[in-house]
Amino acid sequence: MKTKLLILSSFVGFAFLAQAQEISNGVMRFNELRKPIYREIINIPEVNGYQVLKCDFHTHTVFSDGQVWPTIRAQEVWEEGLDATAITDHIEYHPHKKFVEVNHNRSHELIEELSKKNNVILIKGSEITRQTPPGHFNAIFIKDASSFIEDNANEKDWEAVMKAFEQDAFIFWNHPGWRPNIEGSYEWLPFIEELYKKNALHGIEVINGFGFHMKALDWCVDKGLTVMGSTDIHNLIAHDYDRSKEYVHRTMTLVMAKERTPESIREALKAGRTVAWASKYLAGKEENVKNLVNACIKLLPSHFTQENQNGTKTNFYEIQNNSDLYFELELTSGKGTQKITLYPMSSQLISAEAGQQSISYDVTNAYVRSNKFLNISFSL
Ligand SMILES: [Zn+2]
Ligand SMILES: [Zn+2]
C-alpha cells in the first residue's frame, strides 16, 4: 500500500539525515534528498488459487513514436510493482528515424537483461498500425517483429496480422473507439469478423489509458474475447498519471494466472481470465470481475446489535477491502447502508436490519457490460 511505503521511506530518509553527511574530497552529498528507490507492492489476494498478475502489454519508446528510451520503461514497471510488460512499438511509424535506427526488435532487446535482473516478465510484442478502420493491433508473444509487413498499410492489412498469427502471437485489437469521427472505426467490421473467424483475434483493448471503450466490453463478453487494459504510454508514466493519489495506478490488465511465468500468462490470456483496471475502475467478464471482487471484499460476522425504539433491531458489520483496488457499492436489495466507499486496504462499518438472510450491492465502479455493474450479495 502506498501510504505505508511512503512512511517507511521517510524513515529511511530520516536514517540518512541522522548519519553524518558524506563528505569526500571537499564535496558534501545530501543523499537524504534523493528519491528513495523501492518497488511498490500492489496488494491483490489470490483469486480461486490464481495469482493476480499486474500487466501492461501496450507501451511505446523512441523506437516508434514514444518519448523515452526503453530502459525508462523497464524502470517504471519495476517501481510500480508490475509483474509483466511488453514494449509494443509501431511497426510502420517511426517519427524519430532520423536519429534512432529503425529496428523492430531493438527496444525489446535493450531491456531483456534489465527486466530479468528486476524480476519483471518481458513479453515480446509490437503494434501493427494500419489505417483506421480497422486500426491498430497488438501482437504479443511474437518471435520476430521485423518479419511483419512494412508497407503503408492500405492493401496488406491482412497479411501483417496473419504474419503475427503465424508466429503464434496473442493478438488484440487496440483502442477501437479512438477515432469516433471516422466512419466505421468503432464497428465490428468484416475485417474484424474475418480475423475472429480465423481465430486470429484473441482480445480487445477495452480500456486504453484513460479511455473506456464501452462497446468493446460487450463484444468481448458476447464473442468470448479477452478483455485487455493498457496504458499505450508514450510519455513518462509520471507525466500522465497522478500517482500521488492513493488509488491511481497506470491502466493495466489483471491476469489471473496459475504461476508467475510467461507460459502461465499466455494460458490465462487465451482462457480469458483477465480484468482491465484503470485506477478506480474495473471492466471485465462478469465471472472474472465477480471472482476478483469476492477475493478482495470480506464481510465479517456482526459484532453489535442495536435495539431500536420501534422494536426492530439493527446489526452492525465490518466490511473489509483486503486489496489495493477501490470499490463503490450501492444497495440494490435488502435494508441496510445505502452507499459504501471502500478505499484500498481499509474497512468500513455497515448496518443492516436484523432478520434478513442477505443483502446485495451494485459495485458501481466495476463494469461487466457497457450498461451493467457487477452485483454482489452477502449472506447475513
Ligand atoms: Zn495504437
Ligand atoms: Zn500504441
Tell me how far apart the alpha carbons of residues 50 and 194 are, in angstroms, rounded to a whole number.
33
Q: What is the predicted pLDDT for the residue at 19?
A: 54
Backbone φ and ψ of 346, nearest 5°: -150, 170
Quote the pLDDT of residue 146: 83
Of 60, 10, 2, nearest in space to 34 by CA: 10
**Selection from 256, 292, 284, 280 nearest residue 367 by Cα:** 284
- The C-alpha cell that represents 224 in the structure block: 468470448
Q: How far is the CA of 63 from the centre of ligand 1 (A)?
A: 14
Q: Which of 98, 97, 123 is nearest to 255 (CA)?
A: 123
Q: How far is the CA of 90 from the centre of ligand 2 (A)?
A: 7
What is the average pLDDT across 9-34?
A: 70
Architecture of the 296-379 domain: Sandwich (2.60)
State yes or no: pLDDT of 150 exceeds 60. Answer: no
> Nearest ligand to the C-alpha of residue 234?
2
Residue ranges near ligand 2 (ion) with Cβ within 5 Å: 127, 232
pLDDT of residue 152: 54
Half-sphere exposure of 366 (CA within 13 A, CB side): 26
Q: Is the pLDDT of residue 8 over 50?
A: no
CA-to-CA distance for 126 and 121, rounded, in angstroms?
A: 16
pLDDT of residue 16: 47
Rounded to a whole number of angstroms, the distance between the first and last alpha carbons of the chain is 30
Q: Are 254 and 52 in contact (CB under 8 A)?
A: yes
* Mean pLDDT in residue range 225-231: 98
Does position 10 have pLDDT exceeding 70, yes or no? Answer: no
Instruction: Average the pLDDT over each of 5-9, 92-96, 287-291 and give the range with the smallest value.
Output: 5-9
Encode pLDDT of 170-215 as tens digits.
999 999 988 878 888 899 989 899 999 999 999 999 999 999 999 9
Ligand with minimal distance to 137 CA: 1
**Per-residue pLDDT for 7 more than 80?**
no
In the reported structure, the alpha carbon of residue 159 is separated from the centroid of ligand 2 by a whole-number distance in angstroms of 19
Nearest-CA neighbor of 220 among 367, 17, 55?
A: 367
Given pLDDT bands bounded at 50, 70 and 90, which one contains residue 246? Answer: confident
> What is the spatial distance between Cα 274 and Cα 269, in angstroms, rounded to a whole number?
7
Closest CA to 372 of 363, 341, 291: 363
Which residue's entry shows cell 519483471? 120
* Range 105-127 average pLDDT: 97
Q: State the distance from the centre of ligand 2 to the C-alpha of 59, rounded, in angstroms.
A: 6
CA proximity to 354, closest of 379, 335, 333: 335
**Would the pLDDT of 9 be above 80?**
no
Give percent of the chain above pLDDT 70.
92
Least Cα distance to 45 among 310, 231, 321 occurs for 321
What is the Å distance from ligand 1's center to 129 Cα?
6
Q: What is the pLDDT of residue 131?
A: 78
Q: How far apart are CA 274 and CA 226, in angstroms?
A: 7
* Coil, helix or strand at residue 97: coil
- Under a CB-based contact definition with an 8 Å cutoff, are residues 233 and 59 in contact? yes
Q: What is the secondary structure of 18-56 as a DSSP string?
A: HSPPEEETTEEE-GGGSPPP---------BTTBEEEEEE
Q: What separation in Å is there between the alpha carbon of 245 and the centre of ligand 1?
A: 27
Q: What is the CATH number of domain 42-284?
A: 3.20.20.140
Looking at residue 308, what DSSP letter applies? P
Place of cell 452507499: 339
What separation in Å is there between the alpha carbon of 120 and the centre of ligand 2? 21
In this structure, what C-alpha cell is assigned to residue 223?
464473442
pLDDT score recorded for residue 11: 46
Using DSSP's 3-state secondary structure scheme, residue 282 falls into: strand
Confidence class of residue 375 from pLDDT cuts 50, 70 and 90? very high
Assess whether pLDDT exceeds 70 at residue 3: no
pLDDT digits (tens, 9 = 90+) for 290-335: 999 999 999 999 999 999 999 999 999 999 999 999 999 999 999 9
Q: How far is the CA of 126 from the centre of ligand 2 (A)?
A: 9
The closest alpha carbon to 138, from 253, 41, 27, 59, belongs to 59
User: What is the per-residue pLDDT for 156?
Assistant: 54
- Report whether pLDDT(135) > 50: yes
| Rounded Cα gap, residues 265 and 6, in angstroms | 31
| H or E stretch at 136 | strand 136-140
So where are the chain's domains? 1-38, 42-284, 296-379
